[in-house]
Amino acid sequence: MGSKRTSRRELLKSGGALAGGLAALGPTTASAQLSPYGTPVHDQMADMAAHDAPMIKGTKELVEYGQRSHYVTSMRMAHPMGGRASPDAFGKTFHIATPLQDSVGVITPSSLHYVATTRGAFVPDIDPKQHTLMIHGLVDRPLTFTIEDLKRLPSVTRLHFIECAGNRHNGRQKTVQESHGMTSCAEWTGVLLSTLLKECGLKSSATWFVAEGAEEVKGASSMPIAKAMDDCLVAYGMNGEAVRPQNGFPLRLMVPGFEGIFHTKWLRRIKTVDRYYMNYNDYGHLEKSPKDAALAFQIGPKSVITKPSGGQQLQGRGFYEISGLAWSGGGAIRSVEVSTDGGRKWNRAEIKETPQRMAHTRFGYPWNWDGNETEILSRCTDEIGQQQPTREQVAKYWNVPFDRSYRVPGLDNSVMPWRIAKDGSVTNGLA
């Protein structure tokens, strides 16, 4: 009975604590209001109306496999990248973006994980009992593994992001789902590729490997063997259950920190070779030495504010926690900075959990909006000291004229500004 009252009181108390915290963090204007962070209790019985909510009827299906509340409507969307609808008239899907604006924490639920199919493909409906992974080429003992074989071997479980190289932003996107939604982060379980290559007796002449998927276009890529022996993962598990079909069921390759295209889904063959093999996927990666490739294939340090972000609405001035995600192919995120004045002053953000290597990292920054128009931005630095560049810096690097709304050359890990208008509306700061 009294628990509701207590929690309300605690909420208000924490509002008070926020006020203190804010004062310590920076100047608050005299007129800054810290309420409302909740609604004072006037009528306890009316306040308890939620107890009279209709019931969700238990069904066999709900007993066996749970479902989110029908009040929660966060959804993926067909991404305009490549200009193809998903699904198309044939039931093929191309690019599907994750709703980052609704994300909390760092794990993308499997149902909301982004999906990319390089040339648009039917998702293969693979019987895991029939599926095998062949490893051959420059090895002493070419071997074939069933899923059951793989599950007998020592497993690892790791949090890793994937990001499509086409995840870029300019002045055109309205929401963070459109501008940054081609990245997700999940907990992956499987066998280290190095474990399998050791089983096969990798020859020292092997410098590259080619990974191939089971669908019509194969999705094959060449990658340096050093990466295979370092941290590549042959994954059968995703967020505590089997990898979903759209994400590569029953087996996918994880190549932590490398461009998404390398994370071969429906993995069925790995060939170790002594040179770079030209494959369907390699149009973008010509003339790379194995040494250069390790860096060139790697995603740079990147971050974005997910709340507040484009299309959202601030409810008047006062306290807001700015929240966002940071990630890097270079390792763990070391620090994140947030600017609430268009990039003049950068302030250290709070990292919410121990950052994992090549994984999304949640950050937060306490902000007291004074009701004026402004721009909010984030930038991050990873464990090897790489800092996320502003668009000005990217333009300088490529020696191209600086244009806010322009498409930056190369992979786009530039800083993303969100504009806050006086009425509290949030829009793309590059538009």
Ligand X SMILES: Nc1nc2c(c(=O)[nH]1)N[C@H]1C(S)=C(S)[C@@H](COP(=O)(O)O)O[C@H]1N2
Number of residues in contact with ligand X under rule CB under 6 A: 20
Q: Which of 206, 229, 236, 224 is nearest to 262 (CA)?
A: 224
Q: Residue 145 binds which entry of ligand X, Mo ion, none, with Cβ cut-offs from 5 to 8 Å by kind? A: none
**Which residues make Cβ contacts (< 8 Å) with residue 10, sequence separation at least 6?**
none
For the bound state, the minimum distance from the C-beta of residue 116 to Mo ion, rounded and expressed in Å, comes to 4
Pair 251, 266: CB distance under 8 Å = yes
| Residue 213's binding partner out of Mo ion, ligand X, none, with CB under 5 to 8 Å set by partner kind | ligand X
Instruction: Examine residue 256 and tell whether it contacts ligand X (CB under 6 A).
Output: no
Segment near ligand X (CB under 6 A); pick from 261-269, 289-297, 377-385, 395-403: 261-269
215: partner contacted, choices ligand X, Mo ion, none (Cβ within 5-8 A by kind) = ligand X
Position among 22, 133, 162, 164 found at the interface with Mo ion (CB under 5 A): 164
Dig out the tokens for 408 from the structure. 């930056």
Question: How far is CA 60 from each of CA 63, 160, 241, 248, rounded to the nearest angstrom?
Answer: 5, 34, 20, 28
Supply the minimum distance, in Å, between the C-beta of residue 73 and ligand X: 22
Give least dist CB 198 to ligand X, A.
25
Contact between 117 and ligand X per CB under 6 A: yes
Instruction: Name which of 267 and 416 has its Cβ closer to ligand X.
Output: 267
Q: Site mask, Mo ion, residues 78-107, x = CB under 5 A?
A: ------------------------------
Question: Looking at 79, 113, 160, 169, which residue binds ligand X (CB under 6 A)?
Answer: 113
250 binds, among ligand X, Mo ion, none (CB under 5 to 8 A by kind): none
Q: Which is nearer to ligand X, 22 or 359 (CB)?
A: 359
Whose Cβ is closer to ligand X: residue 186's or residue 376's? 186
Q: With left for phi above 0 and alpha for psi between -120 and 50, is residue 240 left, alpha or beta?
A: left
Exposure letters 182-203 (e unless 16+ CB within 10 A, then b): bbbbbbbbbbbbbbbbebbebe
Alpha carbon separation from 232 to 161, 279, 359 (Å, rounded): 13, 19, 14
Closer residue to Mo ion (CB): 116 or 191:
116
Least distance to ligand X from the beta carbon of 88, Å? 15
Report what 162 binds from Mo ion, ligand X, none; CB cut-off 5-8 Å by kind: ligand X
Instruction: Verify binding: residue 263, ligand X, rule CB under 6 A.
Output: yes
Q: Which of 315, 308, 247 is nearest to 102 (CA)?
A: 308
Q: Does 116 bind ligand X (CB under 6 A)?
A: yes
Phi/psi at 379 (5° precision): -145, 155
Q: 211: Cβ–Cβ under 8 A, 6 or more apart, which residues? A: 220, 221, 223, 253, 262, 264, 267, 269, 270
261 binds Mo ion per the rule CB under 5 A: yes
Contacting range for ligand X; rule: CB under 6 A; set: 30-38, 256-264, 321-329, 382-390: 256-264
Q: Does 261 bind ligand X (CB under 6 A)?
A: yes
Query: In Å, what is the CA distance from 100 to each residue of 106, 176, 267, 324, 360?
Result: 10, 6, 27, 9, 12
Distance between start and end Cα atoms, the chain: 51
Number of residues that bind Mo ion (CB under 5 A): 4
3-state DSSP assignment of residue 234: strand
Residue 367: name the closest of 333, 341, 343 by CA.
341
Using rule CB under 5 A, residue 116 touches Mo ion: yes
Which of 123, 376 has the CB closer to ligand X?
A: 123
The verdict on 138 binding ligand X (CB under 6 A) reads no
How is residue 123 written in tokens? 């998702």
Residue 265 binds what, of ligand X, Mo ion, none (CB under 5 to 8 Å, by partner type)?
ligand X
Strands annotated E in 328-371:
333-339, 347-348, 350-351, 361-369
User: Which residues have a Cβ under 8 Å from the Cβ of 119 and sit 6 or more positions away?
Assistant: 217, 280
Per rule CB under 6 A, is residue 162 in the interface with ligand X?
yes
CB proximity list for 238: less than 8 A, separation 6 or greater: 110, 113, 186, 187, 188, 189, 244, 247
Measured from the CB of residue 250, what is the shortest distance to ligand X in angstroms? 13
Q: Does 329 bind Mo ion (CB under 5 A)?
A: no
Chain residues that interact with ligand X, rule: CB under 6 A = 113-118, 121, 162, 164, 184, 213, 215, 219, 247, 260-261, 263-266
Chain residues that interact with Mo ion, rule: CB under 5 A = 116, 164, 260-261
